Amino acid sequence: MEESEFNALAEKTLAAIEAGLENSGADVDFELGAGGVLEVEFADGSKMIINRHGAAREIWVAARSGGFHFRPDNGSWIDTRDGSELFAKLERLLAEQAGEPVPLR
């Protein structure tokens, strides 16, 4: 995958995550910053960072429960370790950290 194609796909995905957070009604603050870094802050002060990593052509998630890497595969982003889909994994990780459901779709 070319870098420009990856960047466009990653930006679209991060924007969809941001829109999902906005519509979720969960008690979280978030900001999509320059360079494709989405920072989510929870009521307890903990944070989750979701960002694109151009060199690896992946989206990386740093959560309280660990770090996760997702690669594009047939229209989805798939966890490089357990094969789970990005949005499904994020909903679980966000709910764990927020203490409430955080639906993104």
- 35 backbone φψ class: left, alpha, beta (φ>0; ψ -120 to 50): left
Please compute Rg for the chain using Cα positions: 13
User: pLDDT tens digits for 18-70?
Assistant: 999 999 999 999 999 988 899 999 999 999 999 999 999 999 999 999 999 99
Tokens (6 digits) for 95: 């709910």
As a whole number of angstroms, the distance between CA 12 and CA 92 comes to 21
Q: For residue 105, what pLDDT is reported?
A: 85
Considering the entire predicted model, what is its pTM?
Answer: 0.94
CB 50 within 8 A of CB 14: yes
The pLDDT score that the predictor gives to residue 35 is: 85
